[in-house]
Amino acid sequence: MTLKPQDLYVVLKIVSANGERAPYAKLASDLFMSTSEVHASVQRAQECHLLHGPNMKNQPNLLALEEFLIHGLRYVFPPCRGSLTRGVSTSYAAEPLKSMLSAADEPSPVWPCDEGNQRGMAFEPRYRGAPLAALRDPKLHAYLAIADALRDTGARQKKLAEGELHTLFQDAKSQRKS
């Protein structure tokens, strides 16, 4: 099987829920996907070792996921940029990276979305429902924004994104042990 962009989206939603995979119907609703799409994404993520199998309750394989996000994501799912639009901030323009960097004079990256309140350069999300799901779930928004920063930023932003991702994953690991 080939990993698809929405597979990473589903895995990051599971990570944002403290590693607990909600029922497929709940995940589908939260992510603006169909239940069959979520099920297929979980299967592909397991085959790619980004999720552990049912014997480990489909928990995220955080070591493999971190390695993939840092070293492979930008090659497998390169960013697609567009023109100036309204949307939801992502990459270095969204938290947690936004507060670590000074504002630039250039327009910041946004996922095109009518419900967004930011103006910036279009940065296509890995899945069309990501902007709306991010507006509902700030923790998911943070993970998706960090992933986007790892896909398409300069060296300084990428280094900050790597550090923040590592910190968030360490927190996720400690929460699973509690």
E-state strands within the chain: 81-89, 109-112, 118-123
> 129: domain range?
79-153
Task: Give domain status of residue 30, yes or no.
Answer: no
Task: Give domain status of residue 111, yes or no.
Answer: yes
Task: Give domain status of residue 113, yes or no.
Answer: yes
* pLDDT computed for residue 56 by the predictor: 87
The closest alpha carbon to 130, from 146, 117, 112, belongs to: 112
Task: Give domain status of residue 4, yes or no.
Answer: no
Domain tally, the chain: 1
Task: Give domain status of residue 101, yes or no.
Answer: yes
* pLDDT computed for residue 153 by the predictor: 72
**Model pTM score:** 0.94
Task: Give domain status of residue 40, yes or no.
Answer: no
Q: Is 100 exposed, middle or buried (0-12, 13-18, 19+ CB in 10 A)?
A: middle
Distance CA 16, CA 157 (A): 22
Task: Give domain status of residue 99, yes or no.
Answer: yes
Q: What is the pLDDT along the chain (178 residues), one digit of tens a residue?
A: 789 999 999 999 999 998 888 999 999 999 999 999 999 999 999 999 999 988 888 899 999 999 999 999 999 999 999 999 999 999 999 999 999 987 677 899 999 999 999 999 999 998 999 999 999 999 999 999 999 999 987 888 999 999 999 999 998 888 776 5
